[in-house]
Structure 1
Amino acid sequence: MKMNSEWREKFVYPFLGIATITTIIYLNFNDQFNFEFPIVFWQKKMGFVGVNSTHFVIINKHDHDQLMYVNGWNSYWLMEESVWGPSRSKVSKMLKKGAEMGLNVCRTWGFSDGPRPTSLQISPGVFNERVLKGLDYVIVEARKNGIRLILSLVNNLNAFGGQAQYVKWAQEAGVNITSSADPFFSNSAIKGYYKDYIKAIVTRKNSLSRVRYSEEPAIFAWELINEPRCDSSSSSILQAWITEMVAYIKSLDQKHLVTIGLEGFYGPNSADKSRINPGDWAALLGTDFIQNSALEGIDFASVHAYPDSWMPHANTTEKLDFISRWLESHISDGEKILDKPVLFTEVGYPLHVKGNDANYSDSLLKMVYGSIFESAKKGQAGAGALIWQLLVEGMEEYGDKFSLVAWKHPFAYKLIVEQSCKLRRIVRKKNSAAALNGKDPCSNIVT
């Protein structure tokens, strides 16, 4: 017994002390270091998200699935800023602040293609491990704060490479294609590049948590492409591309939801709905909200809302009338036609509105949140909304006219928190238990 006691004093206790101190230092200051450290022992337990008809549910293996509504945000820059140790604190702060506002889903880029120093995919099938570790960090920090991520896998736009970069790679490899971006959806070589990228991401093992992305519950969903558009003559090609790619992802990962990334425009096949579009031009972009979203394997419909960009010459009354119809129409489509949840994954909140229209921005956000809340109260298909976009101090370089540091805009901050609390209240009524992430922002909110 004496030997055991001396052994514990000489070896076990000092080791436990050092391990404890090391853990405390890492958990508090890990974003300032560039080394990686396995942290699986403190990962928050989370259930995967599934769908039950028009609702999101958190899957519980040992009990009833729990209803889930989404109040979330976009911060596309998280991976970009997680590449460098010194800026990781900004990423951690954004996810922590989101949780403190009661937000539960963040949509961010899971792509960056091309020759840039912070590109994730340098050339087809060639990846920057440092950037991948940045994405690892985003996922770990999201789970730490109880946030789930929608990871978009490629951009239709040229920012961060986009589909144009894939076309350029194919041309440089001698593939005989035009300079138009539409070959992205049809050319077999380019589709092969994209599938290789999907496989590398979906099957990756996180260097920090050692959890494969396909097994990571902090990932809410995979998004095929941000805002796909093509020539109207290529609409059938886009439809075939969506079918092929969703089937490929699901062959690698059966646990996560998949969505397309649509803006929500109605195409020629939904002629009776074309009056809902923000202009005649929207029906000519090769997408069709109902036809695309109805495909097997697409688990929920995605919609964007940018009346200020889509209707630049309309007055604020016309824009608010449009957004009211836009919300009502898509929620009705999810309920009556698609039998799927509808998630408004980008809602543009215009900050700089002058003169008599100064209250327009807040009116727009109130209208979006109000429609989602009323749909949730009735048990309908409006499953949530994600504001575009939130920043923290020091990240203003990623901003645009729809970007804000929420806590610097008290009324917007209040609207966001109240929406989180209202949706949480509905969930609590229907679920046996539902805990808020982190600090409860609803303790002083009456809904």
Structure 2
Amino acid sequence: MNSGYREKYLYPFIGITVTATILYFSFDQHFDFTLVLWQKNMGFVAVESTHFTVTDVHDLHTSSKSTLYVNGWNSYWLFEAPSRDTVSRLFKKASQLGLNVCRTWAFSDGPGPNSLQISPGVFNQKALKELDYEIVEARKNGIRLILSLVNNLSVFGGKEQYVKWAQEAGVNISSSPDPFFSDSTIKGYYKAYIKAIITRKNSLSGVRYSEEPAIFAWELINEPRCDSNSSSSILQAWITEMAAYIKSLDQNHLVTVGLEGFYGPTVVEKSEVNPGEWAALFGTDFIQNSAIDGIDFASVHLYPDSWMPLSNDTEKMNFVSKWMDSHISDAENILKKPVVFTEVGCRADVKDQGVYNRKSMFTVVYDKIFESARKGQAGGGAMIWQLLVEDMNEYGDPFSLVAWNEPTTSQLILKQSCRLQSIFWKSKDLERNDPCYGLVP
């Protein structure tokens, strides 16, 4: 190597690198030593009318916009996985099936070795670094994350833990978990948590969460219910306030609610779509809650085995079809936003006439999404609940699966990934390492 090259290029580069490293360590004492210098190029997801779009920057001078459809899954347990290798294997396996979005918990509230928030404003840095790692690994594999910020249920703390914290601080509220949505002290706790997560700088990549394109969206709460206010006015006000607060901190990312999709008592003509009369009594309303300006896309869940335990397989499949048609139509014609079925669960141990029904249900769900996409309608995608990797039984439930060990299921997933791509791309347009290369026309 000649001395002119060293003086002109190499030495300045080394100098800049060393200086930047020293400065970074000086200003961020929590920085993890494992520095990610190069990351996969990704664009932020946006919403245009009833579709998701991504603007991909190819170089300094060129970019292109493409439509994105979600073929995704849930793995709630990522930040407390047994090992980082478990997280890496999951994302690698999922990317091989063409899956592109994972929904997971960005919360765990209360005392415990794996909690993200031990008490209001007090955080477990070790657990947060595992959240950092899953974001880096997702981006490495070309996968985006929907990060849910609190649980309606008491599992992982949830709104019940927030109420308990307020009571311990002397706030005069009932022991019901519903003050979570209305008490100013509790709302202050939740906003402080939101701010801490959204403004966090990743200890591995140095990228703030608010500037991380591998984050698809923020989800306000997993399956919100406000039993004491069936008219949904309390929850409606809470969603409005919290969505606006997130937008004040982060203009790059989408926001969704985390709804199960039940229609409220004010929408009488939709009551027959619900899985039962009970579904209208939880203080939620799919149309009202999803129509709020700060909510970018609607979210719906789908659990016929849990919601209709006495129905036979045919009745459940009819419900699935009607449920999806109704919500896609509402998203297209009323909300004018995309809708994603962010949890789709089917028990592996439920049989009808000796035949497992998981394949039947996933087929109906995937066909509905594909038809909506093919017609340019608002069905933005579906996400399986939930994927595991091997030897993770402690995180399992009756809906869990290790998809790559079930050839029929993995073939269904890959087929859905590829045919959604085929709406816009041909095999010749894909990179050879794309799982759909050669499988689309």
Same fold by TM-score greater than 0.5: yes
Written as runs of structure 1 = structure 2, the 5 A alignment for 1:47-66 is: 47-60=43-56, 62-66=62-66
2:158 to 162, 172, 176: 162
Give the letter for the 1:219 counterpart: I
Change (3 A) 1:263 1:357: farther
Query: What is the distance in 2 between the residues matched to 1:434 and 1:289?
Result: 38
Q: TM-score normalised to the size of structure 1?
A: 0.89
1:31 match: none
Give the letter for the 2:384 counterpart: I
2:386 to 367, 389, 394: 389
Written as runs of structure 1 = structure 2, the 5 A alignment for 1:37-436 is: 37-39=34-36, 41-60=37-56, 62-81=62-81, 87-231=83-227, 233=229, 235-354=232-351, 356-428=353-425, 435=430
CA deviation map 1:273-312 (0-9, x unaligned): 0100000000001000000000001000000000000011
Change (3 A) 1:334 1:175: same
Task: Count residues in correspondence.
Answer: 416
Change (3 A) 1:140 1:433: farther
Query: What is the distance in 1 between the residues matched to 2:390 and 2:438?
Result: 26
Query: Is the 2:343–2:383 Cα contact (8 Å) retained in structure 1?
Result: yes
Query: How much has 1:253 moved relative to structure 2?
Result: 0.2
Query: How much has 1:355 moved relative to structure 2?
Result: 5.4
1:441 match: 435
Moved over 3 A (4+): 60-64, 432-436, 443-447
Query: What is the distance in 2 between the residues matched to 1:357 and 1:413?
Result: 21
Query: What is the distance in 2 between the residues matched to 1:63 and 1:119?
Result: 40
Change (3 A) 1:190 1:433: farther
For residue 59 of structure 1, give the secondary structure of its aligned residue in structure 2.
Answer: strand
Higher helix share: 1
Change (3 A) 1:347 1:434: farther
Query: What is the distance in 1 between the residues matched to 2:284 and 2:428?
Result: 40
Query: What is the distance in 1 between the residues matched to 2:258 and 2:132?
Result: 22
Query: What is the distance in 2 between the residues matched to 1:360 and 1:46?
Result: 37
Give the letter for the 2:382 counterpart: A
Query: What is the distance in 2 between the residues matched to 1:37 and 1:157?
Result: 35
Query: What is the distance in 2 between the residues matched to 1:433 and 1:198?
Result: 43
Query: What is the distance in 1 between the residues matched to 2:111 and 2:263?
Result: 36
Give the letter for the 2:434 counterpart: D
Give the letter for the 2:78 counterpart: L
Give the letter for the 2:416 counterpart: Q
Query: How much has 1:407 moved relative to structure 2?
Result: 1.1
For residue 45 of structure 1, give the secondary structure of its aligned residue in structure 2.
Answer: coil
Query: What is the distance in 2 between the residues matched to 1:352 and 1:289?
Result: 30
Query: What is the distance in 2 between the residues matched to 1:360 and 1:354?
Result: 6
Query: What is the distance in 2 between the residues matched to 1:203 and 1:115?
Result: 23
CA deviation map 1:396-428 (0-9, x unaligned): 211101000001111111100000000011132
CA deviation map 1:152-173 (0-9, x unaligned): 0000011100100000000111
Query: What is the distance in 2 between the residues matched to 1:426 and 1:116?
Result: 47
Query: What is the distance in 2 between the residues matched to 1:433 and 1:223?
Result: 36
CA deviation map 1:368-388 (0-9, x unaligned): 000000000000000100000
1:24 match: none
Query: What is the distance in 1 between the residues matched to 2:207 and 2:108?
Result: 22
Change (3 A) 1:377 1:78: same
Written as runs of structure 1 = structure 2, the 5 A alignment for 1:8-47 is: 36-39=33-36, 41-47=37-43
Change (3 A) 1:375 1:142: same
Query: Is the 1:100–1:439 Cα contact (8 Å) retained in structure 2?
Result: no
Q: CA RMSD in A?
A: 2.3
Query: What is the distance in 2 between the residues matched to 1:246 and 1:433?
Result: 41
Query: Is the 1:406–1:413 Cα contact (8 Å) retained in structure 2?
Result: yes
Query: How much has 1:440 moved relative to structure 2?
Result: 2.4
Query: Is the 1:102–1:417 Cα contact (8 Å) retained in structure 2?
Result: yes
Query: What is the distance in 2 between the residues matched to 1:405 and 1:60?
Result: 32
Query: What is the distance in 1 between the residues matched to 2:122 and 2:428?
Result: 45
Gaps of 5+ in 1: 20-33
Query: What is the distance in 2 between the residues matched to 1:433 and 1:399?
Result: 39
Query: How much has 1:97 moved relative to structure 2?
Result: 0.8
Query: What is the distance in 2 between the residues matched to 1:419 and 1:329?
Result: 21
Give the letter for the 2:100 counterpart: N
Query: Is the 2:76–2:103 Cα contact (8 Å) retained in structure 1?
Result: yes
Query: Is the 2:72–2:382 Cα contact (8 Å) retained in structure 1?
Result: yes
Query: What is the distance in 1 between the residues matched to 2:430 and 2:342?
Result: 23
Query: Is the 2:229–2:282 Cα contact (8 Å) retained in structure 1?
Result: no
For residue 380 of structure 2, give the secondary structure of its aligned residue in structure 1.
Answer: strand
Query: What is the distance in 2 between the residues matched to 1:280 and 1:232?
Result: 16
Query: How much has 1:357 moved relative to structure 2?
Result: 4.7
Query: How much has 1:63 moved relative to structure 2?
Result: 3.6
Give the letter for the 2:218 counterpart: W
Query: How much has 1:394 moved relative to structure 2?
Result: 1.9
Gaps of 5+ in 2: 19-30
